Amino acid sequence: MSFDPKHSVRQIRRRLLRLLLLAFGSVVALMIVLVLAVFAVVTAVAARGEPVFQSPQARLLEGYYIGRGSWDGVEALAQSEGWGDMVVVVDADNRVVLDGGRVDTPRVGQPYTGPTTFPERVTIPLHANGQPIGAAILDVPQRLQPFDFIVGLLPPVGFVSIFLAALTLLIGVLLARRFINPLADVIAAAQAVAGGDLSARVEVRGPEDLRALTDSFNHMADALQRSDRERRAMLTDIAHELRTPLTVMRGKLEGFIDGVYPVNETTIAPVLEETYTLERLVEDLRLLTLVEARQLHFDLRPTSLAELAARAISLFDAEANEKRITLTLDAPPDIPNVNADGQRVSQVIGNLLSNALRYVPEGGAVAVAVRREANGVSLTVSDTGPGVAEADLPHLFDRFWRGEKSRARASGGAGLGLAIAKQLIEAQGGTITARNRPEGGLAVSFTLPLEKLEGSVNGYLSTDRQTDERMVAAD
């Protein structure tokens, strides 16, 4: 089933919107229930001792008894209040003292035997100075109970709650569109990248945090796409570099078997030379992989770049003389030391000199200069060769890179020397650059810092050289 980004985005948006609305709805419903529950509990607790929840008839009757000390003349109170027949008052002995606002009915003076419970009537005990003085028997609507009070408040509270819920959901939907759409785009793009589409990108929009997330995702996708492209190119380049020596070796060996070539030192030497080429290529790839993975350890100590340069030049003198190339060193005596791995830096200098001697024509010159810089000590290898096109300079330190013309494969090398040099220098806290000289030729410079925490680089500690070499060999 093919991946449809638009359909995926729509599904993710609907799912996120449902989750958000469900969350908002749950919060609103819970808020209403909690408000009503708290209000009911507080009201019920308050009703136990607050007179506002008692019947007004009961309060008037208790006040009358306290003022008179008896129920005599209570009918005047009933008539003045217009109670009619909805109130019956009994004394502490349950004898009727007021029957429907009158004292001349047959039930007055008799024990009360009428209805006293819900739903017809309700009895309210009456007290004076803490002592029972009787009871008021009222029609249910005449008593203001806490439950009745709460029920009466339910319609306005419910209306306000529903209004607030609708308003909250509306605001939630508006906010959801602002947050959900960018987030859905990021999720859909992430799914596309996980499915192998490394070209998926997300439009940067929405709040600042989501914009930062989107921008970070796009950078990550760019890095993944670039890494995949470099991986594919590296595999192609490795296959290409291995094919030539293997083809030569196969042809020679088949010739030995078929009797085409005699088995002697002259015919075997080319095969041995190709094995050396393969060995160098494999070793360069291993070293480059270790450095890029930060698994190569460095023995950092005070090191003189001038001494390393002089030693490297002495190793390449024979090759330079054979090609009639002038090889010089310019290093003032007061150059301070750098904190670096001497063996790794010597390898870098050797790569730069080998690269320069490979492309400089006969009668040319290669110069090595060591200089004190503001941020450390620099070493520059410059030549009088053809140089590199300006458009190609950014790719000079890429793996397997070679120029199309003067720096072609025919000149030798697998295109790993400068890539290894860059990784080794940067792993020791330095920088390396390349530029074309105005008078012609290429100049490659690297700079190492003067002061650096001794014995560490990029978070990796080194001990002695033998331990490092054993660890590298184990890798």
pLDDT given for residue 116 in this prediction: 52
CATH number at residue 273: 1.10.287.130
Predicted pLDDT at 151: 64
- pLDDT value at residue 39: 67
What confidence category does residue 402 fall into, taking pLDDT thresholds of 50, 70 and 90?
low
- pTM for the predicted model, two decimal places: 0.50
pLDDT at 399 over 80: no
- Asked whether residue 66 falls in the same domain as residue 127, the answer is yes
pLDDT at 24: 67
pLDDT value at 30 more than 70: yes
Q: Which pLDDT band holds residue 144 (cuts at 50, 70, 90)?
A: very low
Q: Is the pLDDT of residue 404 over 50?
A: no
Strands 131-139 vs 121-128: parallel, antiparallel or unpaired: antiparallel
Per the domain annotation, does 201 fall within a domain? no
* Same domain (yes/no): 268, 332: no
Residues 435, 374 share a domain? yes
Residue 200, domain member (yes or no): no
Does pLDDT of 196 surpass 70? yes
Say yes or no to pLDDT of 330 above 90: yes
Question: Are 67 and 184 within one domain?
Answer: no
Residues 369, 424: one domain?
yes
pLDDT band per the 50, 70, 90 thresholds, residue 149: low
Regarding predicted confidence, which is higher, 412 or 306?
306
pLDDT-based confidence at residue 194 (cuts at 50, 70, 90):
confident
314 with 439, same domain: the answer is: yes
Q: What does the pLDDT read at residue 93?
A: 85
pLDDT tens-digit series, residues 114-139: 765 545 567 778 888 888 888 888 76
Looking at 69-78, 91-100, 155-164, 254-263, which range is the least confident one? 155-164
In a domain, 269, yes or no: yes
The reply to whether 438 and 373 lie within a common domain is: yes
d(CA 382, CA 394): 17
Domain membership of residue 469 (yes or no) is yes
Q: Is 101 a member of any domain?
A: yes
Domain-ending residue, one of 292, 323, 358:
292
176 domain residue, yes or no = yes
Q: How confident is the model at residue 457 (pLDDT cuts 50, 70, 90)?
A: very low
266 or 34, which is more confident: 266
Q: What is the pLDDT of residues 58-74, one digit of tens each?
A: 888 888 888 888 888 88
Which residue range forms the structural domain that includes residue 156? 5-48+148-194
Residue 67: which CATH number? 3.30.450
Single residue among 275, 292, 309 that ends a domain in this structure: 292
Q: How many CB atoms lie within 10 A of CB 415?
A: 19
Whether the CB-CB separation of 396 and 326 falls below 8 Å is answered with: no
**In the prediction, which pLDDT does 444 show?**
93
Number of domains in the chain: 4
pLDDT value of position 121? 66
In a domain, 202, yes or no: no
Most confident segment among 96-100, 144-148, 204-208, 290-294: 96-100
The chain-wide mean pLDDT, for the chain, equals: 76
* 167 residue type, one letter: L
Are residues 136 and 165 both part of a single domain? no
Per-residue pLDDT tens over the stretch 411-449: 445 567 788 888 889 988 899 999 999 888 999 999 999
pLDDT at 127: 84
> Are both 10 and 101 inside the same structural domain?
no
Percentage, residues of the chain above pLDDT 90: 14
Asked whether residue 51 carries a pLDDT value surpassing 50, the answer given is: no
- Would you state the pLDDT for residue 33? 76
- 65-86 average pLDDT score: 79
Q: What is the mean predicted confidence (pLDDT) over 313-326?
A: 91
Tell whether the model's pLDDT for residue 171 goes beyond 80: no
Whether 332 and 450 map to the same domain: the answer is yes
State percent of the chain over pLDDT 70.
73
Contact 428, 341 (CB under 8 A): yes
Residue 199 lies in a domain: no
pLDDT digits (tens, 9 = 90+) for 340-364: 989 889 989 988 998 899 889 899 9
Residue 401: per-residue pLDDT: 65
The closest of 115, 61, 120 to 91, measured between CA atoms, is 61
pLDDT band at 76 (very low <50, low <70, confident <90, very high): confident
- CATH number of domain containing 311: 3.30.565.10
Query: What pLDDT is recorded for position 415?
Result: 65
pLDDT of res. 154:
66
Same domain, 416 and 312: yes
Instruction: Give dist(CA 383, CA 442) in Å, integer.
Output: 6
Residues 319 and 468 in one domain: yes
